[in-house]
Amino acid sequence: MSVTRHPDAMIPASTPIAPRLVLAPTRGRTVLDGGWWPRSWDPAAELPGLLVALTERHGRIRNVVLNLRAWDDRFRRLTVGSDVVRFGWFDSLDPAVLVATTDRDTQIDLLVVPPSIPPAAAERAMAIAADPANLRRAPDILAAVRVVPARASTASTESYAEWDNEGGGNGVKGRDSRVSPMRE
C-alpha cells in the first residue's frame, strides 16, 4: 500500500492495522452504517486498514470524503492492493463523519469517533452508530456519550456548515477558516 502524493509516493512502514470498526448488521434506511474509532488523526496510518475492512464487507471502495480540518494530512489517492481510492477533503463535512462510495454507487456513512475518546465512550458511540434502529446523526451520538470532537472545536471563530447528509449547519467551529489548496 502506498499513499500517492504529487510528485512523490510514500509507502507506509507497516501493514494496515485492524480498524476499530463496528458496522450495522444490514444496510437499510439508516442514518449511519456504523462507527469507526481511529487511533490517530494520521490518514496514511488509519485509512488503509479501514478501506480493507470496508472492501471485504461492501466491495471495492472507489471514493472517500472526509473533513478537511480534522486530519493531520491530506492526499488525493491511496493505493490499496491493486485498487486506487480517491479522496475528497471538505470543510463542509462534519468531522464526525466519513462517507465512502463503492463501485456500485452504494454510500457508506460512518461515525468517526475522535482518537482521544476514552474506550468506554468510544465503544458506546460505535454501538449506537451501528444500531439499525438508530436515528441520531454523528454529532448527536458524540454529544450523547458526552464527547466533543477536539479537532472540531479549536482555533477558528467562524462556523462552517455541515454537509447535506448531516442536515445543515450545526455551529461547530473548524480549526482554521482559510481553505487550503488540495494536493493533486
pLDDT recorded at residue 15: 66
**pLDDT tens digits, 70-101:** 999 999 999 888 889 999 999 999 999 999 99
Cβ proximity of 48 and 128 under 8 Å: no
Cβ proximity of 184 and 5 under 8 Å: no
pLDDT recorded at residue 73: 92
Q: What is the residue-averaged pLDDT of the chain?
A: 78
Q: Is the pLDDT of residue 136 over 60?
A: yes
**What is the strand order of the sheet 107-112 is part of?**
9-10, 2-4, 77-80, 83-90, 61-67, 97-102, 107-112, 34-36, 21-23
Instruction: Quickly state the pLDDT bin for 16 (edges 50, 70, 90).
Output: confident
Report which of residues 106 and 159 the model is more confident about: 106
Q: Which sign does the torsion angle of CA 122, 12, 95, 130 carry?
A: negative
Most confident of 28-32, 103-107, 154-158, 168-172: 103-107
Instruction: Quickly state the pLDDT bin for 51 (edges 50, 70, 90).
Output: very high
Cis status of the peptide bond prior to 7, with omega within 30 of 0: yes
Which H/E stretch holds residue 67? strand 61-67
**pLDDT tens digits, 17-39:** 889 999 998 877 779 999 999 99
Instruction: Quickly state the pLDDT bin for 109 (edges 50, 70, 90).
Output: very high
Cβ proximity of 101 and 63 under 8 Å: yes
